[in-house]
Amino acid sequence: MAIIFELFQTLIDKIAELQRRVDRYRDQLAKNELLTRYVLIDPFLRLLGWDLEDPEQVRPEFSTQAGRPDYALLHGGERPLVFIGAKSLGKQEDLQQYISYCVAEGVKYFIATDGAKWEVYDTYALKPLPEKKIAEWDITKDEPGEVLRKAFILFRYSPLVSEASKPLTIQETKVIPKPPEKRGVSLSSFTPELGSKMKFSEIVFPDGRRYTLKRWRDILLRTVEWLVETKRITSSNIPIRAGQRSKRYLVNDRSIHSNGRNFKSPERVNGLYVECDDFSSRSIIKHSKRLLLQFGVSTSDVFLV
């Protein structure tokens, strides 16, 4: 018992030292992300049991189809279970961007941190983004012992990193619930029959947002709507072509193609125009899939219900 107490006291003392570093170097840390990682984030991961020099446990700048998370925490040497997005002290991470990294790679958990504040998200939860948060702590505001208690889920040997379906906190029991079943048809595996009627009432995106469907074209329109709302489609990447080599636009801020011709069947979505052109159901699905993949979203995590 004395050994365990001594171990916990050592960890608490290290957290207290990180608190002092924030106070001492706040101005420098606010201007330098790499310094924040070196002074705050790396030591915190080490005290939770992660060997940053072992690529079977931790890999910086992990390459994905959608981008590069700052850290990947791995289980068994190859498969990432947690992505971490790091910012300089006081800065906020682009959560939607990192959620897309997780969705693209099938990674269940994402952690956003500026070295002081840590937020843990369950990317599989079919909920709005703020409700995906399952834990948080702040080494500048919480007592060191409280930080250690909350950070238990990031401990290398905790259920979160040993493939439990849901991470446990100290306050939870050891009964691990089954993850909720995903209902509906994954967009990735769906091809409508020609001439078939719309049989779905909603489309559900990876962050849990749901949109009503009435017509086949609503799948494309709601896809554009979600991409705009999650700030993937912005003024900086408009117009969007209907295909890599196409001269026609699929989405534009004006209902005009590159050749000056008007859209044949424009629909207005969040201030933008979407060219539907009486697309068949299969064309609607094809364009919706292409748009999602273009912005780093896995179509296997979008469901028609």
Alpha helix stretches (DSSP H) within the chain? 2-31, 33-36, 42-47, 95-105, 144-150, 217-229, 281-294
- Tell me the pLDDT band of 71, cut-offs 50, 70 and 90: very high
In this prediction, residue 43 carries a pLDDT of 96
CB 30 within 8 A of CB 59: no
Question: Domain segments of the chain: what residues?
Answer: 2-162, 185-304
In which band, very low, low, confident or very high, does the pLDDT at 206 lie, cut at 50, 70 and 90?
A: confident
Q: Kindly state the tokens that stand for 167.
A: 């991470």
Q: Average pLDDT, stretch 221-232? A: 93
Residue 136: the pLDDT is: 94
Averaged pLDDT, 96-104: 76
So what's the pLDDT on residue 173?
A: 31
User: Looking at 47-56, 144-153, 238-247, 252-261, which range is the least confident one?
Assistant: 238-247
Assess whether pLDDT exceeds 80 at residue 212: yes
Pairwise pLDDT comparison (77 vs 53), residue with the higher score:
53
Max CA-CA distance within the chain? 79
Q: Which residue has the tokens 């500026």?
A: 114
State the average pLDDT over residues 263-273.
Answer: 91
Single-letter code of the amino acid located at 277 = D
pLDDT in tens, 143-188: 998 999 899 888 876 655 554 334 333 333 333 343 444 457 889 8
Contact 264, 275 (CB under 8 A): yes
* Mean per-residue pLDDT, 279-285: 88
Residue 72 burial by Cβ neighbours in a 10 Å radius (0-12, 13-18, 19+): buried
Point out the least confidently predicted range of 3-12, 19-28, 206-215. Answer: 3-12
Cβ atoms < 10 Å from Cβ of 153: 25
List the CATH code of the domain at 2-162.
3.90.1570.30
